[in-house]
Amino acid sequence: MEMNKKKLLRKGIILDLIGMSTMLIPIAGTLVDLIWAPYAAKQMNDMYEGKKGKIASIIVFLEEIIPGLDFIPTFTLMWLYTFVWKKAPLMQPITIKVED
């Protein structure tokens, strides 16, 4: 699913807020997390392609399923990693030798 950066951030913030809101429901919030964790993992994998999406989906699953970690804004952190913190690889010069 290809999204522009702003839509991806907006969706991530909404998903983080939903995930955090389960902390506000005593006892039942932990049960809701059993449903929310796989859904959040699927959303993360759909939002970010490749290996980083798979790793992030595992992280968000664990963050949601382990009680007390719901306050971590995993989707927002992934967006920051992808678009702010991660540096593009530097291009390296390639030497080509031509034989006569």
CB contact at 8 A, 56 and 78: yes
* CA 48/CA 16 separation, integer angstroms: 15
What token pair was written down for 96?
């080509």
Q: What length is written for the chain?
A: 100
Which residues are CB-contacts of 60 (< 8 A; sequence separation ≥ 6)?
Answer: 19, 37, 40, 41, 44, 74, 75, 78
- Mean pLDDT is lowest, of 18-27, 34-43, 58-67, 82-91, for 82-91
pTM: 0.78
For 26-60, the pLDDT digits (tens) are: 888 888 889 999 999 999 999 999 999 999 999 99
DSSP letters, the chain, are ----HHHHHHHHHHHHHHHHHGGGSTTHHHHHHHHHHHHHHHHHHHHS-HHHHHHHHHHHHHHHHSTT-TTS-HHHHHHHIIIIIPPPPPP---------
